[in-house]
């Protein structure tokens, strides 16, 4: 028996009846022969980790643009924290950790440089708008390359989890798997808490600045709040999972008091940090850079790499420019802006 089949048998015996089994995946757009060693979701995870888009997350902003310290989060460290939280929840619920990991690692590969500022600019510049979750799916299905072909040919369950990871509201569509639903909550648990931690480190916030009506529920430290949120989601999910045999009947959620507290802290961060006065100047400068590059490449598409020139031919110039800019790291975006705008001497020094 091949090792992959042993792993698939282990899943059948050990995972919850509501988990997605690797052997029962809905498959890929392009059928492939199964791997001898890895399950389909392990294979997806490996392709994502080895992708260029994943590596670029290391130099993409989480909240603070080009921070001077080494200890501030980047989009990559955010992704790793989401992965850790999600796998903890998944293990407690006996769900498929390989599927969870693949979705977690891929969920932000379509994020722009300069965090939500870059996303807002591209949303304004694109006639159909721009959302990073939709773009993450585009990166996985078209912009990355696997064996010389467009896209990584990722499993449908992973793409579904990536597409529906964003947003926070009961009226929004959610992932079709419990594994995918976990990523949406893990994303919120991670970024609200680590953005508070980074803001305290930057001297912009103090723990005592956080509204007590929320911290009295969630906890008065970074670790306590994450523990409360993870434990609450797991405990509540277990109750729901015991009451049904169909994953389609379950929509994961916190208890009402914890949900209100997390949403309250999230709103506090939007008002005071994400959209607040402290980062306003940096957001304005970042928007200027992204808008300038967008206009420049609309005028000079021939200066973009061949992949994006091909997209211009197939899908139009705005889509090609958007794909190029959205994939840039903060550092690369700034470097291109300087290269285009700052005069260089034509005289060589002897």
CATH C-level class of 36-280: mainly alpha
Check residue 283 and give its pLDDT: 87
Question: Taking 90 as the threshold, does the pLDDT of residue 170 lie above it?
Answer: no
Give the H or E element holding residue 145. Answer: strand 145-146
* Weakest mean pLDDT among 23-27, 91-95, 172-176, 332-336: 172-176
Using CA of residue 107, residue 110, residue 113, residue 114, what is the dihedral sign? negative
Cα distance between residue 103 and residue 117, in whole Å: 24
Check residue 350 and give its pLDDT: 46
Q: What is the DSSP string of 86-144?
A: HHHHHHHHT--HHHHHHHHHHTTTTPPTTHHHHHHHHHHHSTT---HHHHHHHIIIIIS
Report the chain's mean pLDDT, rounded to a whole number: 92
**62-81 per-position pLDDT tens digit:** 766 555 556 577 899 999 99
**27-54 per-position pLDDT tens digit:** 999 999 999 999 999 999 999 999 999 9
CB burial of 336-347 (b: ≥16 within 10 Å; e: otherwise) equals bbeeeeeeeeee
**Half-sphere exposure (Cβ direction) of 141: Cα atoms closer than 13 Å:** 16
**109-161 per-position pLDDT tens digit:** 999 999 889 999 999 999 999 999 999 999 999 999 998 899 999 999 999 99
What's the rounded mean pLDDT across residues 228-241? 97
Contact 199, 266 (CB under 8 A): no
**300-340 per-position pLDDT tens digit:** 999 999 999 999 999 999 999 999 999 999 999 999 999 99
Residues 184-188: contacts with CB within 8 Å, 24+ apart? 185/89, 185/229, 185/233, 185/252, 185/254, 186/82, 186/83, 186/85, 186/86, 186/89, 186/104, 187/82, 187/107, 188/262, 188/266
**Percent composition of the chain: helix, strand, coil (DSSP 3-state, to 5):** 65, 0, 35
Q: Give the percent of the chain with pLDDT over 90.
A: 78
Residues 71-76: contacts with CB within 8 Å, 24+ apart? 71/201, 72/198, 72/201, 72/202, 73/194, 73/195, 73/198, 75/108, 75/111, 75/115
pTM for the whole thing? 0.94
Report helix, strand or coil for 55: helix
pLDDT band at 106 (very low <50, low <70, confident <90, very high): very high
Cα distance between residue 329 and residue 124, in whole Å: 20
Location of structure tokens 């992704």: 79
Strand partners, 146: 149
pLDDT band at 345 (very low <50, low <70, confident <90, very high): low
Q: Which residue has the higher pLDDT, 156 or 247?
A: 156
Location of structure tokens 């990166």: 139
């Amino acid at each position: 028996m091949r090792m992959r089949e042993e792993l698939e048998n282990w899943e059948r015996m050990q995972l919850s009846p509501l988990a997605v089994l690797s052997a029962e995946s809905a498959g890929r757009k392009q059928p492939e022969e199964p791997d001898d060693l890895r399950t389909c979701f392990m294979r997806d995870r490996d392709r994502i980790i080895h992708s260029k888009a994943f590596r670029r997350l290391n130099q993409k902003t989480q909240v603070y643009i080009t921070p001077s310290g080494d200890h501030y989060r980047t989009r990559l460290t955010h992704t790793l924290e989401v992965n850790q939280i999600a796998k903890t929840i998944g293990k407690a619920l006996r769900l498929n950790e390989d599927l969870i990991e693949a979705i977690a690692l891929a969920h932000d590969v379509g994020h722009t440089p300069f965090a939500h500022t870059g996303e807002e600019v591209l949303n304004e510049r694109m006639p159909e708008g721009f959302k990073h979750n939709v773009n993450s799916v585009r990166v996985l299905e078209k912009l990355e390359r696997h064996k010389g072909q467009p896209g990584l040919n990722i499993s449908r369950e992973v793409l579904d989890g990536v597409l529906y990871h964003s947003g926070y509201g009961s009226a929004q569509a959610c992932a079709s798997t419990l594994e995918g639903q976990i990523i949406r909550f893990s994303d919120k648990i991670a970024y609200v808490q680590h953005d508070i931690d980074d803001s305290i480190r930057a001297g912009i916030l103090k723990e005592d600045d956080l509204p007590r009506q929320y911290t009295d529920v969630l906890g008065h430290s970074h670790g306590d709040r994450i523990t409360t949120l993870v434990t609450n989601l797991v405990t509540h999910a277990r109750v729901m999972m015991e009451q049904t045999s169909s994953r389609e009947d379950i929509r994961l959620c916190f208890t009402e008091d914890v949900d209100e507290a997390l949403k309250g802290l999230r709103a506090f961060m939007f008002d005071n940090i994400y959209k607040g006065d402290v980062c306003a100047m940096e957001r304005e400068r970042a928007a200027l850079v992204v808008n300038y590059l967008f206009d420049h490449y609309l005028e000079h598409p021939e200066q973009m790499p061949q992949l994006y020139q091909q997209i211009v031919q197939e899908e139009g110039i705005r889509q090609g420019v958007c794909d190029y800019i959205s994939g840039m790291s903060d550092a690369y975006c700034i470097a291109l802006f300087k290269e285009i705008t700052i005069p260089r001497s034509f005289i060589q020094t002897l």
